[in-house]
Structure formats: structure tokens, C-alpha cells
């Protein structure tokens, strides 16, 4: 095992690293630190699951690893820039709504800016040649390097020996012989390196990005198609509840449990109508968009269907408009009618 005393950052050579907190990006950094290279790591956050509270290889709390091995981490939220590439990715979506190539390019462009600001010599990533079919094949890795204008300055330490040497390697600033030649989807060599470095408690491989999830992607496509409001609240609302497309102008969301009820109330828009069954355990339901009489009745009946009195012939429902409230009595809706509309 490499002792922590052997890994330090007292060096004139500096690199900027993309860092998710996952195994590969951590190892890429540790391979730099082993050469006494100063690492400035950036963790990028988005609205789509890349969050430091997420226990996945997409993103998790970066600070325990950074503190243990002695490198700095800054958090950077991609915000509307990322939302725009999700809407219209230059290089297309993957199987679902994941714009993996455009995502990588955006992150590297941001990292390149930091590299130039601090006078670093390269941007490094934890990418492994051949590991991910959309974004980590050789032709795609070369495309990303070209699009970011990082030729000679983009280093993938885990697969470096299988790729053209970067400028810092050619200049002897980074020792190429101490880098790796990992290829493909096997994690055997990464796990060996983790043991060697004393890297523990890393997440299992697999994306935490919601854009790779079919259900979330279906809801997002619906939102982009029918809504002009794309913001933090509308994107986070997609993660919870049962989503019902009643009409092109109207959407209904029904909570599944108390936790989801709280989030639905948190993320609702000011003009949304709120439904709740009276005197019984009930979901919180919101109606967003055009509130026709038919839409209001449907939302009330859906609320009745999922409340604790769903077996009763009728249920009293409070209907809270932005400026007034009503109480209506409705029969719970049949499952067959809901099934055709649930996203």
C-alpha cells in the first residue's frame, strides 16, 4: 500500500481534475498525487442527480477523499448551461435523455477555464478507454478533445499509455511510466489500485444521472414538450409522485407518501391548484396548467383513488385555488382510466 505520507501536493506542476467522488476519478487524482503533482479538483453539479448527497458514481460527498489524501475540491453548478444541452445536445442523446458527449464537453470547457486561470498544465479525468459505449470509445474521446480545444492538455491517467502522450508527458513534467493502460469494462485493475492506495468506501459503478433513467426521461420529454416553465422546481418535481398528462395544457401530480407530499408542496408553482382528501390519509395532488371543470374533477377523483378511503363510493376533497378554496365530493377514479395517462 502507498502510504499517505508518500502522497503530497508540494509541487510546481498543477492539474485540474474532473471529480465525481467515484472510484475512477479518485484513482486518476491519486495517480497524479503519487507524482507530487498539485491537483485542483472540480465537482460539477446539475439538476439531474449529480449531487453530493447522492450515493452513486455520478456524484457523492467529495470531501472525505479530498481530506484524506490532501487535495482541494471546488463545487460548480452547471445550472442553465446544462439544461440547455439536455434540450438540444449537439451530439445527441443516449438511450434516454442523457447527452453524455455534450455533458463531458461542457464540463471540460469549464475545467479548461480554471486551468488557464491558475496556470495548470493539464485537465485530467477518470475516463477509461472502452468503458462507456457512448462517451468513452476512442473516436469519441478524440472528438471531445477536439471540441474542447484541449489537444495535448487532456490527460486520462487510467488509460494514458493507450493514448497519445500529452504535452506535460512529452516535456517530462508528468511521468508517463507511472500512468495506467486500463481498457474496457473490467474493474479488476481499478480495485487493485484502490487497495494499493488505501482508497476505501467508494461507490459501485453505475450512473446516478437521472437522465439515464427511462421513467425520469419520459417525464422530462413530456415537460419539454408541453411546458414553458423549466426551472429548479419543475425539474425536481419530476423525481416524485405519479405524473398524469391530462391534456396538452394540463398536468396532474399525485403524491405517493408523506415525504413526497412535502416535496410536491415545496416544488409546486404559485398558480397550481392543490387537492387533498378530507378527514383521512391522503396524497397531495397538484394541477398545473389549464384548470377546466373536467380537469379539476379528474384531479379530485385521482386524489380519492389514492387516499385511505379509496374503497368508499365517494370522498370529500378540498380544492385549494390560489385565491380561494372549495370542497367537492367525488367517486374514486377507475385504475383503467388512470393507466392510460400516467407518465
| 36-52 pLDDT tens trace | 999 999 999 998 876 55
Distance between CA atoms of residues 332 and 337, nearest Å: 11
Burial of 192 (0-12, 13-18, 19+ CB in 10 A): exposed
State the number of CA atoms in the 13 A half-sphere of 114 facing the CB: 24
Task: List, by residue range, all CATH 3.40.50.620 domains of the chain.
Answer: 4-197
Sign of the dihedral defined by the CA atoms of residues 257, 261, 264, 268, in that order: positive
- Name the pLDDT band for 10 (thresholds 50, 70, 90): very low
pTM of the model: 0.86
Asked whether residue 331 carries a pLDDT value surpassing 70, the answer given is yes
Separation in Å, CA 106 to CA 20, 103, 111, 240: 15, 5, 9, 28
DSSP 223-263: HHHH-S--SHHHHHHTTSSEEEEEETTEEEEE-SSHHHHHH
For the record, the C-alpha cell of 154 comes out as 487532456
Q: Which CATH architecture has domain 4-197?
A: 3-Layer(aba) Sandwich (3.40)
Q: What is the pLDDT of residue 130?
A: 84
For the record, the C-alpha cell of 249 comes out as 395544457
**pLDDT, average across residues 68-87:** 93
- Mean pLDDT (the chain, rounded): 91
For the record, the C-alpha cell of 10 comes out as 508540494
pLDDT in tens, 164-222: 999 999 999 999 999 999 998 889 999 999 999 999 877 766 556 899 999 999 999 99
Amino acid at each position: 500500500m502507498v502510504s499517505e505520507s508518500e502522497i503530497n501536493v508540494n509541487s510546481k506542476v498543477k492539474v485540474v481534475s474532473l471529480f465525481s467522488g467515484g472510484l475512477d476519478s479518485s484513482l486518476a487524482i491519486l495517480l497524479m498525487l503519487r507524482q507530487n503533482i498539485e491537483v485542483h479538483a472540480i465537482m460539477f453539479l446539475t439538476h439531474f442527480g449529480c449531487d453530493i448527497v447522492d450515493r452513486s458514481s455520478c456524484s457523492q460527498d467529495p470531501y472525505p477523499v479530498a481530506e484524506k489524501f490532501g487535495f482541494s475540491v471546488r463545487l460548480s453548478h452547471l445550472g442553465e448551461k446544462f439544461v440547455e444541452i439536455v434540450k438540444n445536445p449537439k451530439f445527441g442523446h443516449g438511450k434516454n435523455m442523457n447527452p453524455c458527449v455534450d455533458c463531458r464537453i461542457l464540463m471540460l470547457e469549464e475545467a479548461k477555464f480554471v486551468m488557464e486561470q491558475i496556470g495548470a498544465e493539464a485537465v485530467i479525468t477518470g475516463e477509461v478507454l472502452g468503458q462507456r459505449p457512448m462517451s468513452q470509445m476512442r473516436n469519441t474521446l478524440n472528438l471531445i478533445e477536439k471540441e474542447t480545444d484541449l489537444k495535448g492538455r487532456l490527460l486520462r491517467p487510467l488509460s494514458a499509455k493507450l493514448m497519445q502522450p500529452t504535452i506535460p508527458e512529452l516535456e517530462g513534467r508528468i511521468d508517463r511510466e507511472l500512468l495506467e493502460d486500463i481498457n474496457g469494462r473490467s474493474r479488476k485493475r481499478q480495485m487493485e489500485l484502490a487497495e494499493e492506495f488505501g482508497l476505501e468506501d467508494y461507490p459501485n459503478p453505475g450512473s446516478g444521472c437521472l437522465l439515464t433513467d427511462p421513467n425520469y426521461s419520459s417525464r422530462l420529454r413530456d415537460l419539454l414538450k408541453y411546458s414553458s416553465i423549466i426551472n429548479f422546481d419543475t425539474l425536481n418535481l419530476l423525481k416524485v409522485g405519479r405524473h398524469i398528462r391530462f391534456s396538452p395544457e394540463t398536468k396532474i401530480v399525485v403524491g405517493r407518501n408523506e415525504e413526497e407530499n412535502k416535496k410536491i408542496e415545496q416544488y409546486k408553482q404559485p398558480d397550481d391548484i392543490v387537492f387533498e382528501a378530507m378527514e383521512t390519509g391522503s396524497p397531495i395532488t397538484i394541477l398545473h396548467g389549464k384548470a377546466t371543470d373536467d380537469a379539476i374533477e379528474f384531479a379530485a377523483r385521482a386524489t380519492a383513488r389514492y387516499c385511505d378511503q379509496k374503497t368508499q363510493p365517494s370522498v370529500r376533497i378540498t380544492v385549494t385555488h390560489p385565491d380561494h378554496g372549495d370542497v367537492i365530493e367525488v367517486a374514486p377514479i377507475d385504475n383503467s382510466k388512470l393507466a392510460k395517462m400516467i407518465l
